[in-house]
Chains A and B, each alone.
Chain A
């Protein structure tokens, strides 16, 4: 597949895979392998001090093989997101940050104003900022202008698997964007991924639809080939839709009668 770039990093895969919710570390590792993803997302949480033997997720993952994309999940304000971002960077593992600020527990939809504020601050501090945002073309443009390295509009709310609720908006975002567009959240299965890629987005970020599939390893592979299929179809250029049939054989004059 064609390569692309975020910041200074050239990427060969268009799959960002989340590391939550997998049934066990073995399945997680094999699903990551099957996905071909180069970018892995994580969250930052307090260590459970009563159970420090509890194995860290990083024990099973070779950091040098991947680009880590920690998120600011759990933040409700720009201030909280900036705090989490600074903690994530102090790990020395990555200066990329997915800004994720939810003000509503039920929908987990992003708070656009706080997301913009956090993006502005973190860009100034030298982070590579990838904000998760609603599928709003104007907000995506504002985030790009604030210095976001990519914009990550949601297809539908996190973990719902509802697929792309507003393909028209996603299409507009792609048309307008000068930075990569990554569909983040809400995808459910391979056909959703193909649709996203056909709309011309640069990549997709998924966690739940892989981790919670009956067979996460197989689903990771399905998503990987869906990304390839959708990307190739986008590059190839689909035919326009027509209301009526048009024969594939042509040459009306030579028809048998």
Chain B
């Protein structure tokens, strides 16, 4: 399925947001997901289906002031 992840077009097999997170090996990391503008807490990942063309943002905390 074609998804837009962090601004880049990606082809990957995924049914839910949880699959996307696992695809990138981020399951155990403190990350946050936004799908088509909706912020998802980790408990929602398994129930959120992905659709072709969905815009997904995978973000995390970095150093900052």
Which residues from chain A sit less than 8 Å from chain B, CB to CB? 18-22, 28, 41-47, 49, 52, 56-58, 68, 70-71, 73, 83, 86-88, 90-93, 158, 185, 205-208
From the candidates A46, A68, A71, A207, name the one contacting B59 in the complex (CB within 8 A). Answer: A46
Q: A87-B32, A158-B65 are contacts. A49–B58 as well, Cβ < 8 Å? A: yes
Q: A45-B60, A87-B39 are contacts. A207–B30 as well, Cβ < 8 Å? A: no
Chain A residues with Cβ below 8 Å from B42 are 92
Residue of A nearest to B10 (CB): A49
Chain A residues with Cβ below 8 Å from B33 are 90
Flag B1-19 by CB within 8 Å of A: 1 or 0 each: 0000111100000000000
Query: Does B25 make an interface contact (CB < 8 A)?
Result: yes
Chain B residues with Cβ below 8 Å from A86 are 39
| Complex alpha-carbon distance, A47 and B32, angstroms | 10
Number of interface residues of B (CB under 8 A): 27
Chain A nearest CB: distance from B62 CB in Å? 5
Chain A residues with Cβ below 8 Å from B5 are 49
A45 near B29: Cβ-Cβ < 8 Å: no
Which residues from chain B sit less than 8 Å from chain A, CB to CB? 5-8, 24-26, 29-34, 37, 39-42, 57-65
From the candidates B25, B60, B64, B65, name the one contacting A56 in the complex (CB within 8 A). Answer: B60
A57 near B62: Cβ-Cβ < 8 Å: yes
B65 near A44: Cβ-Cβ < 8 Å: no
| Complex alpha-carbon distance, A211 and B35, angstroms | 35
Chain B residues with Cβ below 8 Å from A28 are 63
Q: A44-B59, A46-B6 are contacts. A20–B65 as well, Cβ < 8 Å? A: yes
Q: A49-B58, A52-B24, A90-B39 are contacts. A57–B63 as well, Cβ < 8 Å? A: yes
Chain B nearest CB: distance from A3 CB in Å? 24
Q: A58-B30, A92-B41 are contacts. A205–B57 as well, Cβ < 8 Å? A: no
| Complex alpha-carbon distance, A205 and B40, angstroms | 30
B32 near A207: Cβ-Cβ < 8 Å: no
Chain A nearest CB: distance from B32 CB in Å? 5
